[in-house]
Amino acid sequence: MTQRITIRRPDDWHAHFRTGAMLRLVAPHHARVFGRAIAMPNLVPPVTTAAMAREYKKEFDFLADEQTSRRADERKFTPLLTCYLTDGTDADDLAQGYEDKIFAAAKLYPAHATTNSAHGVTDVKNIYGALERMQKIGMPLLIHGEVTDPAVDIFDREKTFIDKILAPLRRDFPGLKIVMEHITTADAVDFVNAQNGAVGATITVHHLLLNRNDMLVGGIRPHYYCLPIIKRARHQIALRAAATSGNAWFFLGTDSAPHARDKKETACGCAGVYTGHAAIELYAEVFDAEGALDRLENFASINGAKFYGLPVNDDTITLIKQPQTVPDKFIADDGMELIPFRAGETTPWSVA
Ligand code: DOR
Ligand code: ZN
């Protein structure tokens, strides 16, 4: 008998959609299954004000249009926008944007930590005023948790961030709702568990499926390069245990990060793995392998909404254990090529 599982419609609490042709290509992939997705603000230029977020949101309008949207499911999709924090963030605009439901959260990128983070925060003390306001109004702070000190090894940057920045921040803002995004280490799992629900964490499906051997043994695979970088197997095992633990503070966030093929397959490639085309199927593969399919719904469809204080989705999707072949590539309407995770290979699970 074919295995199948029906779960409440999931949400993606961390995704990159970009703008223009790339957004028109990837947003329908997410909208196919996810009810909502937190849309990252690291655009060029970054989304730093409520007015910019209002403009950005309009780019998603084509999904709601019955003429251009292919499927009824896509029309239900809601992007949740975030504010890119800078040293100069205006706390009033931030709070007003949250009150007006333009912003669902604010994102802390340490300056130069990752793609388009040059305008990020140079010292977390510079945003203490904004954090004070966020704590007061219950606005979530989403964190890219890596230090940028060139002296710190790239594989240690998450742990050092926890020790040097995040732990003190927790002490200074005990009531601030924090999501540690895309955790990649056993150290992050331990830190988040120790906060007992005050700190949430998203876990990507590529960090669950891969360790650094997959990226580097037998040839370098640029489409597995992302930030925070994929770690050794011990960390992958800890992440898989956390995601399937049933702990309410771990939830789904793909960090699906599309880059044009020529920006990945080059001498100095961009960071980002594109999983938006088959994300829920890939998570199902992990939960199945861990014997934890009964916990997929909590991780994918319940925990995140509860952490954000939002209602869960009111409809369902069904996954079946039936292989699907991933296309070799996707082509945007301007001709740009995008190489998806598992390009040309199969995933064991499909959406019915
Ligand atoms: O791999 C990544 N890609 N990590 C990030 O933090 C940013 C993202 C992107 O925007 O491409
Ligand atoms: Zn991201």
Q: Which domain holds residue 148?
A: 4-351
- CATH code, 209: 3.20.20.140
What confidence tier does 69 reach under pLDDT thresholds 50, 70, 90?
Answer: low
Instruction: Judge if the beta carbon of residue 144 lies within 6 A of ligand 1.
Output: yes
Which pLDDT belongs to residue 101?
A: 98
Identify the active-site residue in 12, 255, 262, 314: 255
Q: Which of 279, 285, 295 is nearest to 321 (CA)?
A: 285
CA 257 to ligand 1: nearest atom: 11
Mean pLDDT of 34-42: 98
Whether 271 lines ligand 1, by a CB cut-off of 6 Å, is yes
Q: How far is the CA of 315 from the centre of ligand 1 (A)?
A: 30
The finding on whether 227 has its CB within 6 A of some atom of ligand 1 is yes
Beta strands in the chain (DSSP E): 4-8, 12-15, 36-39, 78-84, 103-108, 141-143, 178-180, 199-203, 250-252, 316-320, 324-325, 330-331, 337-338, 346-347, 350-351
Q: Whose CA is nearest to atom 3 of ligand 1?
A: 272
Rounded to the nearest angstrom, the distance between the alpha carbon of 255 and the centre of ligand 1 is: 7
Task: Give the model's confidence band at 76: pLDDT under 50 very low, under 70 low, under 90 confident, else very high.
Answer: confident
Summarised one tens digit per residue, pLDDT across range 251-306 is: 999 999 999 999 999 999 999 999 999 999 999 999 999 999 999 999 999 999 99
Strand-pair partners of 325: 346
Q: How far does the chain reach from its first CA to its final CA, in angstroms?
A: 15
* Amino acid at the residue 10: P
- Ligand 1 atom 4 nearest Cα: 227
CA 107 centroid distance within chain: 11
107 three-class SS: strand
What is the pLDDT, as a whole number, of residue 113?
84
Q: Check whether 242 has a pLDDT greater than 80.
A: yes
Give the global pTM: 0.97
115 lines ligand 1 (CB under 6 A): yes
Predicted local distance difference test score (pLDDT) of residue 2: 73
- Between 69 and 130, the more confident residue is 130
The count of domains in the chain is: 1
Residues 6+ apart with CB under 8 A from 58: none
Top mutation candidate among 117, 204, 270 for ligand 1, by most atoms within 8 Å of CB: 270
pLDDT reported for residue 1: 66
Mean pLDDT taken over the chain: 96
- The residue written with tokens 């050794």 in the block is 232
Whole-angstrom distance, CA of residue 105 vs CA of residue 140: 5
Residue 204 Cβ contacting ligand 1 at under 6 Å: no
